[in-house]
Amino acid sequence: MSDRYSKLFAEYSHNVSWEDLPPETIHEVKRRVLDNIGVSIAAFAEDAPKAARLYAYELPMENGATVWGTPVKVPPEVATFANGLMVRYLDFNDTYLSLEPLHPSDMIPGIMALCEWTRRPVREIFPAIAAAYEVAVNLCDAASVRAYQWDHVVYTGIGAACGAGRFLGLSVDEIEQTISIASVPHASMRQTRAGELSMWKGAAAANSVRNAVFASLVARQGLTGPFSPFEGEMGFFVQLLGGNPFDMNALKSLETNAAPTRIQDTYLKKWPVEYHAQSAVDAAVDIREELGGDPSRIESIHLDTFKVSYEIIAKDQEKWEPKTRETADHSIMYIVAATLLDGTITKHSFSQERLRDPDIKRLLKSMTLEEDDELTKGYPDGIPNRVTVRTKDGGVFTKVVSYPRGHANNRMTDDETVAKFRLNVEELWVESQTDRVIDLIWHLDEQKDLDELMKAIRI
C-alpha cells in the first residue's frame, strides 16, 4: 500500500502473540474487561444505551454476538456498537492522557464480539487487546488530532482495526487494508464534544470500533482500502494533522516489536466524569469533609485548572448551565458543585432532576474559574486542579490534587477495582451473580469460549 505507517501498525499487530505478553499485561487486560462490563451494566437502563439496544434487537442473528445484559445475539458489528455505547456512556471506563486523550477500553467490545461470533479461543483476545492498546496509546503520544478540530476516536478506530485484524489472524496486508478502510472513510469531527453535548458523545467511539470490525470482515474477504491512508496527498496527515507526520520517537516500541505494555500506562477511573475532572472531584470531596459535611457554609468557589481541562470541560458557556447529562459530566464547574453538595459523584448526579437542582445552580453562580499556567506545566504527567472554597464565616479551604486515584501514578488496587465493579452492578445483579462474573473474568484466559460469561452477565 506504499504507506510506512499502515505497514508499521499492521506488522506490529500481526506479530503479537500470547507468548509475547508480560504477566502484567495479561492481568491488566482482565482488569479492563472487568471494568468494561461493570460500567456497561451501570449504564444499561440509560436512554442512549436503550436506543442502541432497540436498534440491535431489529437485527437478530442466531449465532451472532451477545448484546451485553441480554440473551439477544446480533451481527458482531451491531453488538460492537450497542455494547461499546454502554461501556462509554457514563464516562467511567479507562483513559490515557498525552498529546491526545483516549479511552482505550472502548476497543474491547469489538474484539469480544468477534471472539464470540467466530468461536475462536478466548485466549486470542489477549494479544489482540494488547496490540490495540499498544498502537492507539502510542498514537496519542505521536500527534494531537484535537489540535486540528478532529476527535480522538480516529485513534480508537486505528487501534481497534489492529486488534480486530490480529484477533482474526489476518495477514499483514489484510490488516493494512483493515486500517485503511477503518480510517479514510471515517474521520470523526470534534464537534461531537463542543457546546451542548448530545448522546453521540457516548456513541462516537463505539461507532469507530464498529467501523473497524466491519473493515476487518470485508478485508478478510479480499476488499482493499485506499492506498497510502496516512502519507497520501489527501490522507490522514494532510487532512487531520495540518500536513505533519507522526513523531516517530513515540512509535519506537512498534518499530522494535517490543512486548506490548502500554495498557499498563492507562488509568482506571474512580468517578464517572470526564478524566480531567477526576482530581477536582478528589479535591472537592476532601474540602467537603473539612466543612464538616455542611455545604450550606459555602459562600463562593474558585477553580484553577490547566489548559487542556479548560479547553475540554470549561470554556463553553453551556458548561455553566448544562442541560444534558453529557454536558454535565464534561463540565468541571457542575462536577465540583455536585461533589461539594453530595460528597460524591455517581451516575445519579447527572439526572435531569439533579441538573435542575436550585442548590447546584446557587453554587454555580457563586463560582469563578481560571486557567493557571503553573498547573498547565503539570500536564500530562498529572491532571492538577485546585479547588478553593470561601465560607460565610470567612474561612478559606484550598486543595490541589494532581494524581487522582486510578491514575498511573496512583493506581487502583485489584480490591478497589472489584469494589468499583460491585457498586456498578449492585442495582441489577444479586451478589452471587456478581461473584460468578468476577471469577470468570479473573480466569478469562482459561475459558474455552465466552458462552458462560455472556450468560452470567444477563440482567
Inter-CA distances, 117 with 54, 62, 113, 127, 151, Å = 20, 10, 6, 18, 30
Question: How far apart, in Å, do the first and last CA atoms of the chain sit?
Answer: 46
Q: Is 289 a residue whose pLDDT tops 80? A: yes
pLDDT at 8: 98
Q: Is 437 a residue whose pLDDT tops 90? A: yes
Cα angle vertex 325, ends 101, 33, to 5°? 50
Alpha helices in 329-430 (DSSP H): 332-342, 352-355, 358-365, 373-376, 414-425
Dihedral sign (CA 138, 220, 236, 204)? negative
Inter-CA distances, 59 with 75, 77, 80, 217, 228, Å = 7, 11, 13, 18, 35
* Residues 429 and 25: beta-carbon distance below 8 Å: no
* CB contact set of 362 (below 8 Å; sequence gap of 6+): none
* Residues 298 and 391: beta-carbon distance below 8 Å: yes
For residue 380, say if its preceding peptide bond is cis, omega within 30 degrees of 0.
Answer: yes
Band (pLDDT 50/70/90 cuts) for residue 160 is very high
The fold of 4-265 is 2-methylcitrate dehydratase PrpD (1.10.4100)
| Cα 284 → chain centroid | 23
Q: Is 1 a residue whose pLDDT tops 80? A: no
Percent of the residues in the chain that have a pLDDT greater than 90, as a whole number: 99
DSSP class of residue 150 equals: B
Band (pLDDT 50/70/90 cuts) for residue 185 is very high
* CB contact set of 412 (below 8 Å; sequence gap of 6+): 268, 270, 405, 406, 420
* 305-356 pLDDT tens trace: 999 999 999 999 999 999 999 999 999 999 999 999 999 999 999 999 999 9
Compute the mean pLDDT over every residue in the chain, rounded to the nearest whole number.
97
Label residues 324-338 b or e (16+ Cβ within 10 Å = b): bbbbbbbbbbbbbbb
Q: CB-hemisphere CA count at 13 Å for 1?
A: 29
Band (pLDDT 50/70/90 cuts) for residue 146 is very high
pLDDT at 288: 97
Q: Is 72 a residue whose pLDDT tops 80? A: yes
pLDDT at 9: 98
pLDDT at 2: 76
Global confidence as pTM: 0.95
* 365-401 pLDDT tens trace: 999 999 999 999 999 999 999 999 999 999 999 999 9
* CB contact set of 432 (below 8 Å; sequence gap of 6+): none
pLDDT at 109: 98
Note the CATH number of domain 275-401.
Answer: 3.30.1330.120
Percent of the residues in the chain that have a pLDDT greater than 70, as a whole number: 100
The letter for the amino acid at 53 is R
pLDDT at 324: 95
Please state the domain extents for the chain.
4-265, 275-401
